[in-house]
Amino acid sequence: MPHLAVHLPENRLTGKEPALVAALTDAIVDVYGEWARDLVSVRLAGVPAGRFAQGGKPVDAYASVTLGVRAGVFERPDAARITARLGAALTDAIARVVGEDLRAGTMVELVASPPERTFVGGVLAV
């Protein structure tokens, strides 16, 4: 169950939410397959100017993506290829919708979730 939390400059995000949600969802589907479309959960957060920094200095061309994935993806024989595709596809989606200048400042973090630690509606998601 892929779930994304995406933080972007508020002024760059406003008005682009539907297009970005569609692009991020399509990026996941391009890697996992169409079966994953209905499982993709996207949370967008606009960050006010001056509240994101790199190296101790405020920056305005950034995106931070945290993608929660099942831990099993890292145990697959093709794990390196799958994770590289996820990172590239999500970065491409953000650059395409929000602006190419964000590409260099886009960080994608894949966070593993063991199957026994994911719940939806209070029920273990299998």
Quote the tokens at residue 46: 């606009």
> Half-sphere exposure of 123 toward its Cβ, with a 13 Å CA cutoff?
3
Phi and psi for 39 in degrees, rounded to 5?
A: -95, -10
Residue percentage of the chain with pLDDT more than 70: 99
* Cα 54 to Cα 90: distance, rounded to the nearest angstrom: 20
Per-position DSSP letters for 16-62, written without gaps between them: -HHHHHHHHHHHHHHHH-GGGGGG-EEEEEEE-TTS-EETTEE-SS-
DSSP state of 88: H
Q: Residue 126's pLDDT band (boundaries 50, 70, 90)? A: low
The number of domains in the chain is 1
User: Which CATH number does the domain housing residue 20 bear?
Assistant: 3.30.429.10
Phi and psi for 54 in degrees, rounded to 5?
A: -135, 130
What does the pLDDT look like over 41-88, one tens digit per residue?
Answer: 999 999 998 898 888 998 888 999 999 988 888 899 999 999 999 999
Task: Give residue 53's domain range.
Answer: 3-124
Query: Does the predicted TM-score (pTM) go above 0.75?
Result: yes
Smallest Cα–Cα separation from 67: which of 103, 25, 17? 25
Average pLDDT of the residues of the chain? 92
